[in-house]
Structure 1
Amino acid sequence: MNTQDILNLDNRYLLLTPGPLSTSAGVRRAMQKDWCTWDQEYNDLVQNIRQRLVQLATAQTEKYTAVLMQGSGSFSVESVLGSVIAKHEKLLIIHNGAYGTRMLNMARCLNIEVVELAYPETSTPDLNEIKNALMDEKISHVACVHCETTTGILNPIQDIGRLVKAAGKIWIVDAMSSFGGVPMDIAELEIDFLISSANKCIQGVPGFGFVLAKRDRLAQCKGLARSVSLDLYDQWHTMEHHHGKWRFTSPTHVVRAFYQALLELEKEGGIAARHRRYLNNQQTLSKGMTSLGFELVLDNQCSQSPIITTFLYPTSSKFDFQQFYEKLKQAGYVIYPGKVTDLNCFRIGNIGEVYLKDIEGLLLAVTDYCHTYLHLNSIST
């Protein structure tokens, strides 16, 4: 690919991935103006974003605050783990995929005392085991991923949260790929710290993540941070007392695009309406792919999210994922490789500026690939 090919914006393709994802023309246009981080207009925008995020998260808005943090979503996860757990406290991480494992690696790197409950990537956590683990009085915090995009599984954070709060622990939820696309009230779920990112279901672009935190919990975190740049308390305190000011240079274009994405979410009808669109995308995709002979990785015992769907490679020896990927990309669709440890699989995202017609177009492209390169009307044989 030469430079001209890269610069040719007419050759756009649809990102069927769990973020970065395909954005609207309005979100992209919002990045065409430069902003000054000290300007009051810009800082007013930041404050508006923070307020809107809390309103999206809960009806009990007085209990929560929003903190924006530079970097990818993982930066915000590490910011929480490194800023809210004291040196004498202990963390339980419940995980069944790559992103829960990433939290585990962060905690160990930060020298946090950690215990894990690990489950297969295609299984939901065992509530009885969690209940027993929480009997450890040294455990002060519990963390889990809501939508684990390794497979697309939706973990039962409501049931886990009840156990966590009954045991008197602080509840941390990585809702990176679910917040904004799956209805929830974080106050009703008793979540103390929820983490997400600009480039997921809100449908902004990459550049910052955000944390929705109980005000009283966050106020107790002063001086706990293991990092200067990722000090969640200090970032919040500066935004609170300096009217939206970030401590260090913020991704101004990304912030403005995110504000536009929030307006578009509201125009669509809010999270409930977006969830219906994503769910329709996912169900149409699953039905179409299984009719072509592809098998779903998650069985009926697991809760399939509307965010991303994982499929097994077909049994045909003629199937080559890289060829499949390239042919779909040529047709205008980019999918994801698999992440499940011991399965040959691939993933297709259902979120972003993606509608039913797009899923139907993808299915036509998959059908064409199956007929042309596998020479089969059904690839399951």
Structure 2
Amino acid sequence: MKSATDGPLATALATPAATCAPPAKGEPYLLTPGPLTTAFSTKEAMLRDWGSWDGDFRAMTAQLRHSLLEIAGDTLGNEAGDYDCVPLQGSGSYCVEAMLGSLIPRDGHALVLANGAYGKRIATTLRYLGRAHTVLDKGDYLPPRAAEVERMLDADPSITHVVAVHCETSSGILNPIEEIATATAAKGRKLLIDSMSAFGAIPLDVRKIACEAFVSSANKCIEGVPGFGFVIARKSALHEARGCSHSLSLDVHDQWDVMNRTGQWRFTPPTHAVAAFMEALRLHKLEGGQPARLARYANNRDVLVAGMHELGFEPLLNARWRSPIIVTFFSPAHPSFNFELFYELMKQQRFIIYPGKLTVVDSFRIGCIGQVDEAVMRRVVQACATSLQTMGVDHAAPPAAAIEERKVLADAA
């Protein structure tokens, strides 16, 4: 058996450490799809207290809404444009439920495009809401395609809405949202998008992608902290949503109406998270906006995948569908590999990775977003090499059957 001091592992272990240090002494990098590593100035913005009813905070909320509409391509802003932005307290799943419960009528019928845990969560949410729904489940490897959507819409005229996940982070797949939007519009249905882990980095321009609404969260590609999300929706849809919601707290129409009339959130807002988000928005714009953020994240992904490949790791997805948000890797077939130990060894080196969320194969995930760059990603690969060496794993190749299954499914896509 080849020694761990030979070959790719030895090369990675000999690579000089990068000079990019964690954002604060002792603080780890969060290589997850959010919460993620934030800039020091974003954290620092939370040191001030804000009055939720005060004029300064109301102005902050107005600017937040306007800035998000600009990123979404509605450059006329929330007074003259076709869309408006409605921030909502809570996690991303709260905002997804708010969008579904407010914008799908109680007699509506949703086609859910699922290829991972978050598409399935949408279906579960609709079941709780009592909304009729049909699920197109593509498994963990494959994206939903336009032709499939068209066939299902033709087969069932009762379907009123299509719900799609922009980036399915349980596998790291980037779904073809443009072709899905085109197919949905061609069939006269309305598209709702869960862009939780994509907006701010992956293009989502409402002038080019016909959608009724989409949702995202503060602690994803804008690189803020957890505490709220937002719904960006057509104003016509927001008007039609009056009286539709099953919930007072998650009523998007009511939140929108109160914000437009008073400038205030209906209930206690996450003031510190909003302040942090304003700084995150400033840094997003300073970096060059969505195109620059996409370029950095994509480079992070490419550096990571290349380095991990040298160690023998294989990504779950082929390059065509691999997002720049998070990469899923097959767990090594080596009998000495143990993910729980691998996780702890990575944590000791100040890298928090993510367990796999697949049902058919052992895997783990490494995020590419947040305040990290290619130097950090090289350090991640080096930390993986060190961890493997500690465990006595001399090569990280996955089971042959996993690679064969990936090939078969990739050909099918």
- The TM tier, using the shorter chain, reads over 0.9
Report the residue type matching 1:36 in the other structure. Answer: G
- Distance, in Å, in 1 between the alignment partners of 2:83 and 2:101 is 20
- 1:317 is aligned to 2:332: no
Are residues 1:90 and 2:105 paired?
no
| C-alpha RMSD over aligned residues | 1.2
Q: Which amino acid aligns with 2:194?
A: D
Seen in structure 2, the aligned counterparts of structure 1 residues 379 and 116 have a Cα distance that, compared at 3 Å, is closer
**1:221-267, Cα deviation, whole Å (9 max, x unpaired):** 11111110000000011111112x00011100001000110001011
1:330-366 Cα offsets, whole Å, 9 max, x none, are: 0110000000111100000000011111111111111
Whole-angstrom CA distance in 1 between matches of 2:317 and 2:393: 27
- Contact 1:316–1:374, Cα closer than 8 Å, also in 2: no
- 1:197 maps to 217
Aligned to 1:141: 161
Aligned to 1:187: 207
Of 22, 36, 60, the residue aligned with 1:21 is: 36
Counterpart in 2 of 1:167? 187
2:276 corresponds to 1:261: no
Structure 2: segments with no counterpart, 5+ residues: 1-23, 399-413
- Percent identity, aligned pairs only, is 41
Matches within 5 A, 1:200-211: 200-211=220-231
- Residue in 2 aligned with 1:339? 357
Find out whether 1:220 has 2:235 as its counterpart. no
Task: Provide the C-alpha distance between the structure 2 equivalents of 1:337 and 1:186, rounded to a whole number of angstroms.
Answer: 34
**Is 1:52–2:52 an aligned residue pair?**
no
1:160-212 Cα shifts (integer Å, max 9, x gaps): 11111111111100000000011231221011101000000000000001011
Normalised by the size of structure 1, how large is the TM-score?
0.95
Match of 2:291 in 1: 272
SS in 1 for 2:268: coil
Aligned to 1:43: 58
- Please give the TM-score of this superposition, normalised by the length of structure 2: 0.88
- What amino acid is the match of 1:87? R
Alignment size in residue pairs: 370
Which one-letter code corresponds to 1:223 in the other structure?
G
Q: Distance in 2 between matches of 1:59 and 1:72?
A: 24
Q: Distance in 2 between matches of 1:375 and 1:60?
A: 53
Counterpart of 2:396? 379
Deviating beyond 6 angstroms after TM superposition, the runs of 4 or more aligned structure 1 residues are none
Gaps of 5+ in 1: 1-8
Of 319, 324, 328 in structure 1, the residue corresponding to residue 346 of structure 2 is 328
Partner in structure 2 of residue 303 of structure 1: 321
In the alignment, the residues of structure 2 paired with residue 373 and residue 164 of structure 1 have an alpha-carbon distance, to the nearest angstrom, of 50
